[in-house]
Amino acid sequence: MQNLTESQLQEIAESRSARSSTRRATSEGLEALMFEPAPVLDKGFVRVVDYMGDDAAVVQGARVSYGRGTRAVQSDRGLIRYLMRHRHTTPFELCELKLHVRAPIFVTRQWFRHRTASINEYSARYSVLEREFYVPDAGSVAAQSASNRQGRGETMAPAEATRVVEMLRDDAARCYDNYLWMLNEGEDGQARDETRQGVARELARINLPVGIYTQFYWKVNLWNLLRFLSLRADPHAQAEIRAFAEVIAAMVKAWVPDVHQAFSDYVMNATTLSGQATALLRAALAAPGPVDPASFGLSGRELRELVETVPELEGRILVGTRS
């Protein structure tokens, strides 16, 4: 694993080699991933450090049974799909996952907006941050989107993108060198100059850019985790946090495969239609010719999104009325 010290790798190896007998439910798929860092971006990772429950625990919670029960696996899978389809959320909340994450601070700012979790982050008031910064590759550098104020547009020309990458790297290095100078510390943690005091850590960190990596533990129940994935694994999410979400989604698939399949079918790959859109769709299917969408109260943007979702609708509405 990149950017981990020998002592950290040894600690992970010792954790993975330890074994405990238990009567609680375990997930064979997730057990295989325990403690192992899954790389994300250039220096980040996600690793599973603990969990509670499995697919059967969701079923048990829904039925309020005393154990795993004697019903067929197919029946359990059907119940999970019913719960997901009708958004009966509480049985999913009975499972929990605890992750250890290393991510850039600008990613964690988005991450921590999901407030339904327990979080403990590395403290830059107590400890010195590592010289680890996220720097995108030149192929990821894009211009501001003209249609989406919080998104990217076309990829920039190679020469300009390379200059951006070099600027980000140089600025990060300079800020970190100044950070260490203010702390009066070297890379080895020893004082640089015995004749002066270092600035307090809580002040020295101020000028560090949001591209610096931090670490945190994140414990979340399964339903709120799925809610996180529905937003952050979506194609509209920022690429960097989406990279983390996609790694976590793979972990969820290994942990609770039936829940993950239902989530994929009824949330990630599903579409929710408004009442107006549903009425228009029904009218378009029933009418012998094209219908006028103007009377259904949809904005131009809503109408375009509906046609993107259901391309077959294109020939069933009056194109001239679409704004």
What are the residue numbers of the active site? 232
The Cα–Cα gap between 233 and 246 comes to 6
Cα distances (Å, whole numbers) of residue 273 to 203, 282, 298, 305, 307: 50, 12, 11, 10, 12
List all residues 6 or more positions away from 314 whose beta carbon is below 8 Å from its beta carbon: 307
User: Who's near 239: CB < 8 A, 6+ residues apart?
Assistant: 140, 152
- Separation between Cα atoms, residue 54 and residue 23, nearest integer Å: 13
Give the closest residue to 256 by CA, choosing from 91, 94, 30: 30
Q: Which residue has the tokens 């996952």?
A: 97
Q: What is the rounded CA–CA span in Å between residue 102 and residue 44?
A: 5
Contact 69, 63 (CB under 8 A): yes
Structure tokens at 192: 């640089």
Nearest to 178 by CA among 158, 198, 164: 198
Tokens 């964690």 map to which residue? 108
Question: Strand, coil or helix: what is 296?
Answer: helix
**Does residue 17 contact residue 3 with C-beta atoms inside 8 Å?**
no
Backbone CA torsion sign across 16, 21, 25, 29: positive
